[in-house]
Structure 1
Amino acid sequence: MSLELKAGPTSLERLETAIARMQQKHGFVRVSADQPAFPAGLAALLLTDDPQRNLEVLDACVILPEALLALGANVARLVAGPDAAAALLQRFAVARAPAVVFLRDGDYLGSLNGIRNWQEYRDEVARLAAGPARPRPISIPVLGAGQPGACA
């Protein structure tokens, strides 16, 4: 008898599985960075990143759909994979993923960063969903080390 060792899924493969589950089970629509389609009405946009950098990303893929249940069918559910999320994080001046950006008719309502205790997370989702539109934060380009203008 021989035992074949096989590598487990990578962090990005686990994220893709989580996003596919969100799409199939909870009706999330995946958006792209170059043409994000923000529908009319209330929308919640989950911005993700490689879970190897931040394990909370996978938690958000499970927690957000549950937190949105209280809003019923009145909220469009959107998700951006790491390929699209980087530009959207910058567009909405969000420091890090996971983050949920709330929009109404394309207008910015606010964002929820990271994971919190369950009640606080649900309360913040409800507050942002019910709140008025606010000016979108000014996005500031993030420079990596070695890029012109970056601090050493």
Structure 2
Amino acid sequence: MPSPLIAQLVAEHGYPVLDAQNLASTLESDSTVVLFFTEDPKRYPESNDVAVVLPELARAFPDRFIPMVVDRQLEDQLKLVYDITVWPSLVFLRRGRFLGKISKIRDWSEYMERIPEILDNAPSHNPGVGIPVIDASKEQRHA
């Protein structure tokens, strides 16, 4: 059960919940989305702080992204895809591809600095997926 502040994002602000039913269509859409990974707000009370800040961020960057709350049942699967190890986290995606993330609650000035940088990034490979690239020339020198 989400906290009242997180539930308010959906009920009052109309933010969609990313769940198993809309995951594929969300990742295939041309939209820029911000996925809000809350985990358990009782264990990670900063999730409530981010729930208060997220609507303000959406107002500060009108029409730049769609905020979405990640269903708790989907978080375990997606935290591996987006390399989420710190809670709460905001993951920015465009056309389902990774732009960047911001974890924990931050000062307003940091959001104002980092979000434009993230939104200007070219979509890249999801950080938790794939095979690490190793420079073979460096490996040979250490052998």
TM-score of the alignment, normalized to the shorter chain, above 0.5: yes
May I ask how many residue pairs the two structures share in their alignment? 127
Q: Name the residue aligned to 1:118.
A: 108
Structure 2 match to 1:23: 10
The gaps in structure 1 that reach 5 residues or longer are 1-11, 141-152
CA distance in 2, matches of 1:61, 1:135: 27
> TM-score, length-normalised on structure 1?
0.73
Q: Distance in 1 between matches of 2:100 and 2:36?
A: 12
Task: Establish whether residue 132 from structure 1 lines up as the match of residue 130 from structure 2.
Answer: no
Q: 1:90 to 1:34 in 2, by over 3 A?
A: farther
Structure 1 equivalent of residue 88 of structure 2: 98
**Superposed structure 1 runs of 4+ greater than 6 Å apart:** none
CA offsets, 1:81-111, max 9 Å, x none? 3222222111111112210110111111011
Indicate the RMSD between aligned Cα atoms, in angstroms. Answer: 2.1
Compared CA separation, residues 24 and 34, structure 1 to 2 (3 A): closer
The residue type paired with residue 122 of structure 1 is M
Amino acid at match of 1:112: I
The one-letter amino acid paired with 2:18 is: V
- Residue 137 of structure 2 is matched in structure 1 by none
2:6–2:48 contact (8 Å) kept in structure 1 = no
> In the aligned structure 1, how far is the partner of 2:115 from the partner of 2:47?
17
Structure 2: unaligned runs, 5 residues or longer: 131-143
Maintained 8 Å contact 1:47/1:88 = no
What is the Cα deviation at residue 47 of structure 1?
0.7
Percent of aligned positions that are identical: 26
